[in-house]
Structure 1
Amino acid sequence: MLGNDRDQTRRDVLKLAGGTLASVGLTGLASARGNDSTVEVNVGYSDASGKRAAKAEAAGVVREFNFDALTIRVDENAIQGLSKRPDVRYVERNGTMHALGQQLTWGVDRVDADVTSANGETGAGADVAIIDTGIDSDHPDLVDNLGAGKAFVKAKGNYAENWDDDNDHGTHCAGIAGAVDNGQGVRGVSTEATLHAVKVLGKRGSGSYSDIAAGIEYTADQGWDVGSLSLGGSSGSQTLKDACSYAQDKGVFLIAAAGNDGPCGDCVGYPAAYEECLAVSSSAQDDSLSDFSSTGPEVELVAPGTDVYSTVPGGYDTFSGTSMATPHVAGAAGLLVANGDTNSDARSQLKSTAEDIGLASNEQGSGLLDAAAALGLDSSDD
């Protein structure tokens, strides 16, 4: 969800119990209805017979995944029967997640990314997917680093590309991860990594589980190195978890925002809570935990997230959120994979070189991101 965390009410997300639609309660989720009894659901199957059964019941097939799942429109009355089949792993409503909040922020200097670029470490050759609301296709700080784009939710309005950012959020994250060092505006953590716009969230900053899963799957199928996920919700989705597993198995390093539900002790959202993703919490300029940051045992790193200045369509703005912390880590991951690290190597290296800033383990994980240390550079003179 976008907006000031203090001024707006967070949208509730789907509470899943047991992974099947028969046992869920829905709050504030978009159900695509063709008529009064038709809903959009994600179906995971364990056998081809389960897939055939789902298709037989479907009023329409929206999407088929490579990881034994599909999204269909189906009459509500058929759901219970499908969910009871032994060859069907789950049936879940195609719920909605939201881009995690923007308040207002600084961070490249604090994570010593200026030291990395001064030493020639720019991320050139790395592919970083911003899985978000899109990226402004002609922003002067981003255009030289832009690669491919793909829209699973098309931009609304008169845009050059259907994956253009009609919200601000994705462009802000892209600037943090990889704005060009061009002497104007801002520069990112990784100044020469290729940024790919994977638009899975719409103008209002929300997108369905299926669209987000498809964006993650697409990132994996392109062979890209890093997936930055500044989005989430308070409940999970088996389809989304399957997509994360699929991407991890194909070598993608997935980095996800812990969430903006703080202060709280154990409230990391999804997909950050999945083991396939590195969960990132948010710090303020004095190294304190951002008051909005979600925390929990899943947190692996903390990064700057309060009052971060970055790119937005047509200019620049200052936002806050774990959404802003996440692309700091994604940019640093780009630096490592540009040097040949695998997704697991990069994850271990970022954690082992993080700076302990004195926060609790469920607040900082291994510590504050230190891009220079991760690359074996001395930042003592910075």
Structure 2
Amino acid sequence: MLYTLISFFLIIVILFIFSWFNKDKTVQVNGFSHLSKKHTDILKGIATVLIVISHIANYRGFSILIPLGGIGVALFLLGSGYGLNESFKRKGLDNFFKNRLLKIMIPYWIMVIFYWVLNFETISLNSFLGSLILVNRLPFMWFIQYIFIWYLIFYLSKKIFNGSKGTLFLLIMGLILVFIFKDTTWGEQSFSFTVGVLLSQYQKLKNYLSVNTYQSSLVFLLLGIIFSGLFFMMKIKGLDTINNYWVMSIIQTLMKVSLSIFIIQFTYCFKNYLYTALVTVGLYSFEIYLSHTLIIEMTRSDNQYYLLIVFFIVVIALSVGINKLSSMVYKMLFKKTSISTTS
């Protein structure tokens, strides 16, 4: 528990430092709107903090905080669904996979190379190539596999159905994933992405949340507490068996979606206090996710608290490095593509 508390304190210090060095940028909050790009950057920042804290707590045996990671993942998925549908409304399905594959896979491939450099003694051609194409499991791979599944489902919903039928298709696929992956993280996150799409698809729903921010915050916080209580009650009573896992998955996804929407509303209400630091973290959220799962294992030890500082320094440096290198590679690839198409 002490290890986790120190970690949380260090995160607060890092966020304060980010805010201090970027304090002049807080004026940008004047053009802030509900679920705008800057708002979703804040949400990604909070999601990142929740996931990192959850993993640190889990590695120290403080399992009560593990659900925080699930809430963070739900926020990422919800934001992805919302952003994807907003992009579809502007540009349709043009270059749908090309843009998204590169923006996710370039940082991932950089991290895969870094991973195998550190684990060179166990590398083989099959393991390396399998990692590149998302076959062999690495610590940070499951989310990328999962988000690609939802990208494909979303693409099919727009290509084949669109409109209300496309939304129904997303909901049905979510139910199917609950039953197929009922005893895994994939099952308990089966509706997070779809809720993001719904917030984008139905303007009245978004308008209600943006107008009734305080009331809706309390409503979704209450729902989150109720579903959290049900979840912990089932665990205490020993009902979290394989026979009941589909029920557990549905309760967990309702809990995480409710608390995710509460966080959306909470951050919108208090944007002036959260803006600078969490936007900065949000910009590097994907790289932090990729790097921290590997570095946390490398810096794991008993009662050597100084390694926590090492952990955060390495994760920040690695995340910024991956982000900059990915941007360079992405620009080079698109520059070559534009040259080849015009020549």
TM range (shorter): under 0.3
Q: Which has the higher contact order (CA 8 A, sep 6+)?
A: 2
Q: Give TM-score, length-normalised by structure 1.
A: 0.23
Q: Which protein is richer in helix relative to its size? A: 2
Q: Which protein is richer in strand relative to its size? A: 1
Q: Give TM-score, length-normalised by structure 2.
A: 0.25
